[in-house]
Chains A and B, each alone.
Chain A
Amino acid sequence: MSDMEALPTPSRHLLDDGRRTRAMVWIMAIMIFLTVLAAALGLGAARSAGSLDRELAGRLTVQIIGADKDAQQASVAKVVAALRKDPAVTRVAPVDRARLAKLLKPWLGDAGLDPDLPMPAMIDVDLRHGDTADVARVTAQVQAIVPGAQVDRHARWLAPVRGFITTLWLLGAGLVALMAVATTAVVLLAARSGLDTHRDTIDVLHMLGSTDVQVARLFQRRIALDTLTGGAIGAVGALALTAFFQARLAMLGSQMMNTMVLTPADWAILVAVPFVFALMAMAAARLSVVRTLKSQL
């Protein structure tokens, strides 16, 4: 068999594959590893914030204070009856004294079980939505029946936690944005460096009639491949780590922490990160190469 007959499939790798490419794969792997982790943090925090909002937005506690236990119970009955008629209210449940004593046990000890100890009567109220208008109306209604009664929104108690979770969400989103910018910068540098490295080949291609877009496509293809290869490595690592942390969260048994559990849609977003970055890298490479080539003949 002659050498001609044994010719391999013609190579389309016009840009030489070298050490630079392998370095790019690992850079992309690290970038996407960090991006997926940041995105997981952001998504988890967003889920938690959403869950807190849903749980707390429409939840109120009515507190009726009075020394006379019978009058207090009568007021509770009136308020409960009135609120049950309100279409915005989905649940009204007076908190019984035993439960109240249990809740106060860390502070009062067994003294809380003393029936003579004056304690406020409490009523849990759930609203259909958590609109401020509904809360204001219910508050007015309660205070009309029992002047001096206090209506507390659970959301207000947990505002610092909600704020912290929002900070986590913003941190995650900010890190993802920062990584996107850094990745674009790396791609731009890689494209410019590639143009310098392959200047001779590009000159030949131009002389043979290549268009700028054809040359840019070579870089796009290579950078997309590097990003996807690196992205696959980075994403697998980050997803495994995220799954590990999710399992640890579930094991904690904390209602608050469980709100950070990712949904299937969140996992899909995390899996899409390398692909989105590959598209972004391709666009950046194309823009950079075409712009640079335009300055040449």
Chain B
Amino acid sequence: MANIVQFENVGLRYGTGPETLSDISFTLSDGAFYFLTGASGAGKTSLLKLLYLAQRPSRGIIRLFGEDTVLLPRKRLPGFRRRIGVVFQDFRLVPHLTAYDNIALPLRVAGIPEGEVEPPVREMLAWVGLQDRGRALPATLSGGEQQRVAIARAIITRPELLVADEPTGNVDPEMADRLIHLFGSLNRLGTTVVVATHDFHLLNRVPGANMMRIDKGRLYDPTGSLRFPPRRPDVPPEETS
């Protein structure tokens, strides 16, 4: 399998503070499923921000879809971002748009004619089980429903890479299983999926998924070679480092 993402000695520093991420090197294979685990504050979100081009690294090389994105001119970023679906930890739904319009947003940004927007949006709403909530504003949706709208928005354009930051953080275990199942389905359709989570119980829900662990800004098991289910219910950080 070809590599869709390649990080080489990447470091990230916010302002003049200490490095949040240090010497990050790893590759992501096209069409694979990855879990990124680590405690809160370990650097998962920062690493994902580099992945979905919300941040530029302070040092190192990042190759996305075969191109160096560190030196990529700003005007070319939108083209890359349209190939990446992002599920934010805090959903980031546009509050005054309905669930339908939130999900339709990436299609409209991509300039899809209005007549061609409705069928995929309806399909997505049905796929995430919200076919009756299309007109609802985010404020009237439950946490789980908002999460599903965010996921539908992230995948409606069938991105090559899906990045999800703690997508199950606000939902009950049953809904968490269902969401991970959705990601698995998308992955089987060919999308490379990266899910950041600190919930170890989720890790064995996707057969054949790879795991990367981050701790204090450093990445452990960068090959993602660890497979699940693990021998023990939890993977202590010491064992994988």
The answer to whether A and B come from one shared complex is: yes
Chain B residues lying within 8 Å of A4, measured Cβ to Cβ, are 122, 125, 131-132, 134
Stretch of B51-59, B200-208, B214-222 at the chain-chain interface:
B51-59
> Are the CB atoms of A201 and B94 closer together than 8 Å?
yes
Q: Does A12 contact B (CB under 8 A)?
A: yes
Among the listed B74, B92, B134, which residue makes an inter-chain contact with A203, where contact means beta carbons less than 8 Å apart? B92
> Are the CB atoms of B132 and A3 closer together than 8 Å?
yes
> Are the CB atoms of A209 and B78 closer together than 8 Å?
yes
> Contact mask A197-220 → B, CB, 8 Å, 1/0?
000110111111111001000000
Across the two chains, which residue of chain A brings its CB closest to B126?
Answer: A4
- Contact of A214 with B109 at beta-carbon distance under 8 Å, contacts A8-B135, A11-B97, A297-B56 already known: yes
> Are the CB atoms of A6 and B135 closer together than 8 Å?
yes
Q: Does A147 contact B (CB under 8 A)?
A: no
> Are the CB atoms of B132 and A209 closer together than 8 Å?
no
Chain B residues lying within 8 Å of A132, measured Cβ to Cβ, are none
> Are the CB atoms of A297 and B75 closer together than 8 Å?
no
> Are the CB atoms of B117 and A10 closer together than 8 Å?
yes
B139 to chain A, nearest CB (A): 12
Q: Does B96 contact A (CB under 8 A)?
A: yes
Chain B residues lying within 8 Å of A11, measured Cβ to Cβ, are 97-98, 101
Among the listed A10, A214, A297, which residue makes an inter-chain contact with B100, where contact means beta carbons less than 8 Å apart? A10
Interface set, chain A 3-51, CB cutoff 8 A to B? 3-4, 6-8, 10-14, 16
Q: Does A85 contact B (CB under 8 A)?
A: no
> Contact mask B92-122 → A, CB, 8 Å, 1/0?
1011111011001110111000100110001
Given A13-B96, A208-B106: 19 more A-B contacts, CB < 8 Å? A3-B133, A3-B135, A4-B125, A7-B98, A8-B135, A11-B101, A12-B108, A14-B97, A14-B105, A16-B96, A203-B92, A204-B105, A208-B153, A209-B82, A209-B110, A210-B109, A214-B109, A297-B53, A297-B77
Contacts from B to A (Cβ < 8 Å): 52-56, 74-75, 77-79, 81-82, 86, 88, 92, 94-98, 100-101, 104-106, 108-110, 114, 117-118, 122, 125, 131-135, 153
Contacts from A to B (Cβ < 8 Å): 2-4, 6-8, 10-14, 16, 200-201, 203-211, 214, 294, 297
